[in-house]
Chain A
Amino acid sequence: MAFEKIRDPSEKTLAVLLLAPAFLLIALIVVYPIGKLIYNSFFDLRLSGGSGAFAFVGLQNYKDAWVDRDFWNAASNTILITLITVPGALVVGLGLAMLANLPFKHKWPVRLALLLPWALPLSFAGLIFAWFFHTEYGFVNDVMRRLWLQSEPTMWLLRPNWAFTAICATIIWKTSSFMALILLAGLQMIPKSLYEAAEVDGASKWQQFWQITIPMLMPSIVVALIFRTITALQTFDIPYTMTKGGPGNATETLAMLIHKTTIEYLDMGYGSTLAVCMFLLSMVVTSFYLRRIGRTA
């Protein structure tokens, strides 16, 4: 009897059994770390050198962060990267999606061309574009020289503003294909009859774009924007492989500062404080977007 029960458990037992692995892992990798993170942020946890003290310091870490120039620099870099690359990837992605939506005889080259940048690890994209933007032997400077756009080669990765520009361009290239794939699926769901009716009414292609395509695409755009914003706030791999945050800390993001503070300097207490701040920042964005979805739904 008991054996039968194990072999064919009740609905409720079964549900608990089936969901247990997923939620145990989420507890281990997400929930417990969030708790530990907040707890750590109130302590002095320098694991190498320093005082070596593991002392409760209250809000001291947060006060330190408030006046920490590196923190504000990294925070503003992160926000700036998000504000530039998310709309940038949306515009480029929409362009790619519209081009890819034309009736081609062979669809696979276009589809693969959208999938390849998506599947490429971010760190690879960073390396490839670092080579593109190389001052002496880079492709970008060579094209600009041929077009007479510059008399001197631009020191892309060695000047703060140029490095920032190069990183944003790389991120937009890497992420716009994901946008395009999501938007392409949205485009293909717009009924053809809408355009035919607009055509009959004498609407121009431009009017059709703004009055049919964009409104019909809105759900896909919102979804794509949410995921892109969440990942943009976590930007790490591309600046890490292109500039290591340099020159100076001109391209250092919050994720890089947290990584440096904790994994390299082993300052776990202050690093946790920075992580809590980043956590709050991303929660603000997430909740803002979730409310938007609630309204449109």
Chain B
Amino acid sequence: MSAGMDQGWWSSPRLRFVAAAMVVVNGFFPAVWILLTSLKTEIELVQKPITYWPHNPTLQNYVQAFTDQPLLKYLGNSLAVALIATAASLFVSALAGYAIARLNLKHRQLILTAIVASSMFPLVTLLVPIFETMRALNLLNTYTALVLPYIVLNLPVCTLVLVSFFQSIPKDLENAAMIDGCTRLGALWRVVIPLAAPGVFTAGILAFVNSWDEFLLALSLNSSASMRTLPVGITLYQGEFSFPWPIISAALIVAIVPIAVLIAIFQERVVGGLTQGGLKG
């Protein structure tokens, strides 16, 4: 696996452990620190010097995280927007990806480039026209206002992942299905999609994370309290002069858990998909 590193002093298990520990601490420490903060009382928080381990762990902050702001509502909105956007992104990019991978297109490369290039435009520059369009269509403060741009946001990465999966499926299987009386679309639905399921799944997770994380459009297009998503809602615990850090931390933990569980379960798929068409900073 690791090239040229299985001899000499760095092959020692202790050093390998140190290396792993450095990566793990770098990745997990901020979340762990927030978790510890979320268990502290307001009194303990303002002690100096600061404490690392909570002395009197409390879950009160979690209760308040749900009562100070409609956290459950934000969670539901985020889940709804991300799930709808993921399903819609997969549908649109599966169709496009299939056409690019399988049909005799004259400008195959140009079409793929156009789809990928559409994500290179800074979203914030398109904010005003998108805002105006959504207002004209009466879509501000709806799930649709976010889902439509998110599909475009997810389109490049989903299309890239799906094209490479479609190309890996033998064409003979499809031809056989068509000889058996399937139409082309029937073959896509009954043969290609099921065989490309791992790719669809990978693209789906990437689309979900992208949609779940988006901030700028969610902040600008859905500003009414009942339509806010988590990343936006979570910034609202801070008052004009007060930062209730234990409560913010509790809300952050609640918000991080779903996405952390998702990537923990599907980590290999996520890594594979990222390296195939990773387009997110």
Binding site for B on A (CB under 8 A): 7-9, 11, 14-15, 17-19, 21-23, 25-26, 28-30, 32-34, 36-37, 40, 96, 99-104, 108-125, 127-129, 131-132, 134, 136-139, 142, 145, 173-175, 177-178, 181-182, 185, 187-188, 190-192, 194-196, 198-199, 205, 208, 227-228, 230-234, 236-237, 240-241, 254-255, 258-259, 262-263, 268, 271-272, 275-276, 278-279, 282, 286
Indicate whether B109 reaches chain A with its CB closer than 8 angstroms.
no
Partner of A113, one of B23, B46, B274, B281: B23
Could you tell me which residues of chain B, from 205 to 220, have a CB within 8 Å of some CB in chain A? 209, 212-216, 219-220
- Interchain CA distance A15-B80 in the complex, whole Å: 31
Known: A102-B19, A182-B275. A32 touches B133 (CB 8 A): yes
Looking at the assembled complex, report how far the CB atom of A86 sits from the nearest CB atom of chain B, in whole angstroms: 10
Residues of B within 8 A of A123 (CB): 215, 231-232, 234-235
- Interchain CA distance A178-B213 in the complex, whole Å: 15
Partner of B126, one of A30, A108, A111, A230: A30
Residues of A within 8 A of B220 (CB): 259, 263
Residues of A within 8 A of B138 (CB): none
In the complex, 27 of the A-B residue pairs with CB atoms within 8 angstroms, ordered by the A residue number, are A14-B103, A18-B96, A18-B99, A19-B96, A22-B155, A25-B92, A33-B133, A36-B132, A40-B129, A115-B267, A116-B28, A116-B31, A120-B213, A121-B231, A123-B231, A123-B232, A127-B248, A132-B33, A136-B46, A137-B45, A142-B50, A177-B26, A181-B271, A237-B215, A241-B235, A255-B124, A286-B120
Flag if A282 contacts B127 (CB, 8 Å): no
Excluding A23-B114, A30-B121, 13 further A-B contacts by CB distance (< 8 Å) are A21-B95, A29-B151, A33-B126, A37-B126, A115-B267, A124-B231, A138-B50, A139-B50, A173-B30, A182-B278, A259-B219, A275-B126, A276-B125
Residues of B within 8 A of A139 (CB): 33, 50
- Interchain CA distance A178-B149 in the complex, whole Å: 23
Flag if A22 contacts B27 (CB, 8 Å): no
**Interface flags, B24-61, vs A, CB<8A=1, else 0:** 11111011011001000000011011100000000000
Flag if A263 contacts B131 (CB, 8 Å): yes
Partner of B155, one of A26, A117, A121, A142: A26
Residues of A within 8 A of B84 (CB): none
Flag if A279 contacts B122 (CB, 8 Å): yes
Looking at the assembled complex, report how far the CB atom of B204 sits from the nearest CB atom of chain A, in whole angstroms: 14
- Interchain CA distance A19-B46 in the complex, whole Å: 58
Task: Considering the complex, give the chain A residue whose CB is closest to the CB of B188.
Answer: A18
Q: Which of B3-11, B63-71, B169-177 contacts A (4 or more CB under 8 A)?
A: B3-11
- Interchain CA distance A136-B33 in the complex, whole Å: 16
Residues of B within 8 A of A103 (CB): 1-2, 5-6, 16
Q: How many residues of B contact A (CB 8 A)?
A: 100
Flag if B4 contacts A199 (CB, 8 Å): yes
Looking at the assembled complex, report how far the CB atom of A44 sits from the nearest CB atom of chain B, in whole angstroms: 14
Task: Considering the complex, give the chain A residue whose CB is closest to the CB of B255.
Answer: A124
- Interchain CA distance A227-B268 in the complex, whole Å: 22
Known: A11-B103, A34-B121. A185 touches B231 (CB 8 A): no
Known: A21-B96, A116-B263, A178-B281. A258 touches B124 (CB 8 A): yes
Could you tell me which residues of chain B, from 153 to 200, have a CB within 8 Å of some CB in chain A? 155, 159, 183-185
Task: Considering the complex, give the chain B residue whose CB is closest to the CB of A138.
Answer: B50
Residues of B within 8 A of A232 (CB): 281
**Interface flags, B124-150, vs A, CB<8A=1, else 0:** 111111111100000000000000110
Residues of A within 8 A of B149 (CB): 29
Flag if A122 contacts B267 (CB, 8 Å): no
Task: Considering the complex, give the chain A residue whose CB is closest to the CB of B30.
Answer: A128
Flag if A36 contacts B129 (CB, 8 Å): yes
- Interchain CA distance A136-B27 in the complex, whole Å: 24
Flag if A271 contacts B128 (CB, 8 Å): yes
Looking at the assembled complex, report how far the CB atom of A185 sits from the nearest CB atom of chain B, in whole angstroms: 4
Partner of B267, one of A32, A40, A112, A173: A112
